[in-house]
A and B are shown apart, each in its own frame.
Chain A
Amino acid sequence: MSGRRIGEVILEVKNISLRFGGVKALSDISFDVREHEVRAIIGPNGAGKSSMLNCINGVYAPQEGQISFRGRSFRHMNSRQVAEMGVARTFQNLALFKGMSVLDNIMTGRNLKMRTNLLQQAIRIGAAEREETAHREFVERIIDFLEIQAWRKTPVGRLPYGLQKRVDLGRALAMEPQVLLLDEPMAGMNVEEKQDMCRFVLDVNDEFGTTIVLIEHDMGVVMDISDRVVVLDYGRKIGDGTPAEVRANPEVVAAYLGTGH
């Protein structure tokens, strides 16, 4: 575990443009993410935040521009390749297996780390058993970290929304990611749940040194926990810098106060 010391650029987005037919979702977006930092992408509804994340994540293929991760450039990769490179994400609308327990849901995050094959796992002897034990231990550490021990065996569908969000984060953490993409981790939460989630995000960043890219439209939350912020509006980048710089940017203020449109 490395402590938190902001390092070199780990992820760079260059001149990305994304169109759906005639709709321009993103136009000419560039920014970078440094190792171990908390980087936020903010903007009003429909600004293109999730689209940006989906490009990084390999879900969407941008028409123009390129993304480089640790110096390796690519126009488009599939989601599995991105995951294997050490990028994990959570989802705005949660994509958990509702009928499965918290434990099993987080175990699915270990999928890419499993070395034994389906047959071995079905019989569950020897290497498969040892492997499962090791992965289970890792998952238990995440459960402890996120303080969800009381719901370990509870089907996810029966949990309140705030806890489901935590499980979603747990599954992403199970991948031992170098970069964690969080899509609106505080959406739909009450104040207390938001505070909890902020603490977990900062703790992940602090304890594991994980680089975090998060999307959020709650300005207050973002300004408190991010090192640097990118602001999007109507698919364009209108601001980039520390929270204080962004807050002072007149274009950003205008976008948020709704004037000038």
Chain B
Amino acid sequence: MWHGRDDRCAADTPDAEPTSVQTTFPRLLLDHAKARPDAAALREKEYGIWQTFSWSQLAALVRTMACAIAAQGVVRGEHVVVIGENRPRLYAAMLAAQSLGAIPVPLYQDAVATEYVFPIDSAEVRLAIVEDQEQVDKLLEIRPQCARLAHIWYDDGRGLRNYQEPGLASLEAMLEAGRAFDAAQPGFFDAEVARAQPDDVAAMFFTSGTTGNPKGVVHSHRTLLDRARAGADFDRLTEREEVLAYLPPAWIGQNIFSYAQWLACGYVVNCPESASTVTIDLKEIGPTYYFAPPRIFEGLLTSVMIRMEDASALKRRLFHRAMAVARRVGPRLLDGKPVSWRERLSYRLGDLLVYGPLRNSLGFSRVRVAYTAGEAIGPDLFTFYRAIGINLKQLYGSTETAVFVCLQPDDEVHADTVGVPIEGVEIRVADNGEILVKSPGLLKEYYKNPAATAEVMGADGWYHTGDAGFLDGSGHLKIIDRAKDVGRIVGGANDGAMFAPKYVENKLKFFPHVKEAVAFGDGRERVCAFINIDFEAVGNWAERRNLPYAGYTDLAAKPQVLELIRECVEQVNADLAQDERLAGSQISRFLVLHKELDADDGEMTRTRKVKRGFINEKYKVLVDALYEGKREQFIETAVKFEDGRSGNVSATLAIVDAKVFPAQARKAA
């Protein structure tokens, strides 16, 4: 088992024991309003100007809104749905609900109406506070199925003037009622806030299940605030941070960064003017703390690259020269590794001419800590941001763990791990490779779903993440696959070794020349793989070498191409050999497929995930040839062309042996 890093060991001594959270969200709000009444709490860009809410203004708004909610008879423990973009008044609505001991349930604002039926109905929701007409329309549409939904309040009344639905009201009008209620019972609000305890339920987040109904993840004030604090301590966040909140508030990631940590640290959360102005707002605000899933970073990089293509030849050359330096030097500088003075100097020059202006135009000039999470990020993408001096890091967590399980320390950032367990977290790897987590931030339960709760929460208090992985030699967690996909090597030199197909395939796919890969090995002696070349990338590569080819099948069969792919495979093998647990997953033989795997042929899902089982059946002769030690194999496949015709593609595929490396002992910590 693995505990905190040395420099945080102080936290383990009794007197510095991180006293478990003794406060609640509304109490934190009132504390900030008292200690720093005029400091900015929220900003929202409206009519072209950033409008500021101070902590005291926000506290007053929350007080009135809580009274308005109470005036409708909402009681302690009741659920209140909140739907909309990141808007100050919706944040206030969540705080107001919590002040009364009611439970805010944020739902995704871009969901279709029918997706709201289950959460609203099962959580017995009577009051929904929503942003605008779009959300009101959706709720009115499903109202016949949600009999209890009596009140719908909206923030922005545009287009709603002629709506005559019972229970539909503007937030403005309700605040009026709240003021009257507050005047009549002036002690009510403070008494309600004082009644709330840290272990009371603070919020519920619905996770999008791929099958069946979504599950409501129940968190208390203590679980959310404890993780918010632990994350903030880890990165030394202060009340001076600036955050731009633009991802859905129903996603726990956004909720932690712009709500839980906002109240825990007291920094400023900025709400963009609209979804389409985010890049402009990002630049104006210059956040110091930033959080996004990999697709956002990928989109930003693509836009930079496209704009560079349109730049003048001189600028393009300067950019590419500078980026070459950045890739070599930037990550090492950020990691605090030794860098020669010459390289330092050329990096400084690049910073002056390219990286600085680039960071500025991306809105990242002031970023101190940036995180990516949600899915695996490609090493090239990851390195790009670190190279230009942005401290981009990875974290590991989920809705059930209130996000923070593992974080990467500033000077130990790797593209292929997700960091070390932070304060309070214990990690254990089960025999089947599944990662188990113990943390003060674990969910209280799945709402009204004891079966699902029992499935993930063992009797021993360990939460089953469903992810397979391990802690590497330096104590960093490495996620390799979903636990249910992980297999075993049977027989041979690596008998019993873990086989993680997606991990191997992802490693191959990170090479630009490899489009898809399918690894086999579960229940076999060794690992073999099918490879799909990337026609464009390999085609370019071939043209630069004056290598003529007649089409995909021809190119895929070229000995030079096989050699190119073999180098990629062997590099993956060398990487896998670095870790004794994955050394058994090294690819001993492979072939390059004569056609692209295609969803039209049933070989992939529409979201471009390979269907391993189907491919195993369809290309059985090839799989057998790989394992029988043949040098080549003839195959004929039926294909569907894009115009709907079908035909046959046949080829004799060469089977290539790749070098495997002896496993290296685990590096000492």
Q: Which residues of A contact B (CB under 8 A)?
A: 3-4, 136-137, 140-141, 143-145, 147, 149-150, 152, 199, 203, 206-207
Contacts and interface: CB of A to CB of B under 8 A. Distances in A.
B212 to A, nearest CB: 33
A203 B158 contact: yes
Nearest to A206: B161
B277 interface: yes
11 contacts: A3-B161, A143-B47, A143-B48, A144-B46, A144-B47, A149-B276, A150-B277, A152-B48, A203-B158, A203-B159, A206-B161
B181 to A, nearest CB: 29
Given A143-B48, A144-B47, A207 B161 contact: yes
A137 B47 contact: yes
Given A140-B48, A141-B47, A144-B47, A149 B274 contact: yes
Interface string B619-660: 000000000000000000000000000000000000000000
Given A206-B162, A207-B161, A150 B47 contact: no
Contacts of B159: 199, 203, 206
B273 interface: yes
Contacts of B48: 136, 140, 143, 149, 152
Given A3-B162, A145-B158, 14 more contacts: A4-B161, A136-B48, A141-B47, A144-B47, A149-B45, A149-B48, A149-B276, A150-B273, A150-B274, A150-B277, A203-B158, A206-B161, A207-B158, A207-B161
A203 B274 CA distance: 19
B280 interface: yes
A150 B46 contact: no
A207 B157 CA distance: 10
Interface residues of A: mostly helix, strand, loop or mixed?
helix
A143 B45 CA distance: 13
A203 B160 CA distance: 10
9 tightest A-B contacts by CB? A140-B47, A150-B276, A150-B277, A149-B273, A140-B48, A149-B277, A149-B274, A203-B159, A144-B47
Contacts of B162: 3-4, 206
A203 B159 CA distance: 6
| Residue of B48, B49, B162, B280 with highest tally of chain A CB at under 10 A | B48
A213 B278 CA distance: 36
What's the interface size class on B, roughly?
10 to 19
B302 to A, nearest CB: 18
A145 B47 CA distance: 10
Contacts of A4: 161-162
Nearest to B280: A150
B274 to A, nearest CB: 5
A157 to B, nearest CB: 17
Interface of B: 45-49, 158-159, 161-162, 273-274, 276-277, 280
A144 B46 CA distance: 8
A68 to B, nearest CB: 31
A86 B657 CA distance: 82
A140 B51 CA distance: 14
Contacts of A207: 158, 161
Nearest to A145: B158
A152 B48 CA distance: 9
Contacts of A143: 47-48
Contacts of B274: 147, 149-150
Contacts of A136: 48
Nearest to B272: A149
A144 B161 CA distance: 18
A199 B276 CA distance: 19
Nearest to B278: A150
Contacts of B161: 3-4, 206-207
A152 B273 CA distance: 12
| Residue of A4, A150, A203 with highest tally of chain B CB at under 10 A | A150
Nearest to B47: A140
Contacts of B47: 137, 140-141, 143-144
Nearest to A142: B47
Nearest to B273: A149
A206 B159 CA distance: 8
Contacts of B277: 149-150
A261 to B, nearest CB: 42
B385 to A, nearest CB: 24
Contacts of B276: 147, 149-150
B545 to A, nearest CB: 41
A165 B196 CA distance: 53
Contacts of A145: 158
Contacts of A144: 46-47
A86 to B, nearest CB: 22
Nearest to B275: A150
Contacts of B158: 145, 203, 207
A141 B421 CA distance: 49
Contacts of A149: 45, 48, 273-274, 276-277
A71 to B, nearest CB: 29
A44 to B, nearest CB: 33
A224 to B, nearest CB: 16
B477 to A, nearest CB: 39
A150 B277 CA distance: 5
Contacts of A150: 273-274, 276-277, 280
Contacts of B273: 149-150
B283 to A, nearest CB: 12
A4 B48 CA distance: 29
Contacts of A147: 274, 276
A149 B281 CA distance: 11
A149 B45 CA distance: 10
Contacts of A137: 47
Nearest to A154: B280
A144 B276 CA distance: 12
B354 to A, nearest CB: 24
Contacts of A206: 159, 161-162
A140 B46 CA distance: 9
A207 B280 CA distance: 29
A140 B47 CA distance: 5
Nearest to A148: B276
B86 to A, nearest CB: 15
